Amino acid sequence: MSFFDYNRNMLEIRRQHYLDSLSRFAQTPNIVAVVGLRRVGKSVLLRQFADGVRRSEQVSYVDKESFDFAEVKTAADLVGYVNATTRKGEPRLVVVDEVQQIEQWQTAIASLNAEPSTRVAISGSNASLFSGELATRIAGRYLTLQ
């Protein structure tokens, strides 16, 4: 793998250290929460990770910054989308970028994470993800990659 990737008509820096950490975290039964300030590369990291995993297992990727996912508004929409794009019961990775833009996202993420063959990675800003709701709904079930 190269240090740079050419993707979506732009040059992306491949941060292998973070990809390796994300991969290790994703092997646990925990939700992986990628957090940080805006514009630091969370989305690029998740997209690169999903692309790498896609070679060996199914991936459902939701990018709430893209209009392509405008109809994924609620927890039920998210679970429906994931189940429509992957086969339940088989190994799959669910990646949701800017998850806080989905109503009651914590319910969907906790439900998906409870499925034995489903791994979950999410991203969002520090303030959004670690508000009181996150602490109660998925407490003890997530790891943070900052």
Residues 6+ apart with CB under 8 A from 63: 43, 47, 69, 97, 98
Q: Among the listed ranges 7-21, 23-37, 97-111, which one has the minimum average pLDDT value?
A: 7-21
Q: How confident is the model at residue 140 (pLDDT cuts 50, 70, 90)?
A: low
27 touches 20 (CB < 8 A):
no
Q: Which residue has the higher pLDDT, 120 or 24?
A: 120
What pLDDT, on the 0 to 100 scale, is given for residue 137?
A: 63
Q: Is the pLDDT of residue 50 over 90?
A: yes
Per-residue pLDDT at 3:
47
Q: How far apart are CA 83 and CA 125, in angstroms?
A: 26
CA distance 86 to 22: 21
Give the pLDDT score at 1: 44
Q: Are 87 and 116 in contact (CB under 8 A)?
A: no
Query: Each residue of 13-30: pLDDT tens digit?
Result: 777 887 888 788 788 888
Report which of 15, 45, 119 is spatially closest to residue 142, judged by C-alpha positions. Answer: 119
Model confidence pTM above 0.85: no
pLDDT exceeds cutoff 70 at 38: yes
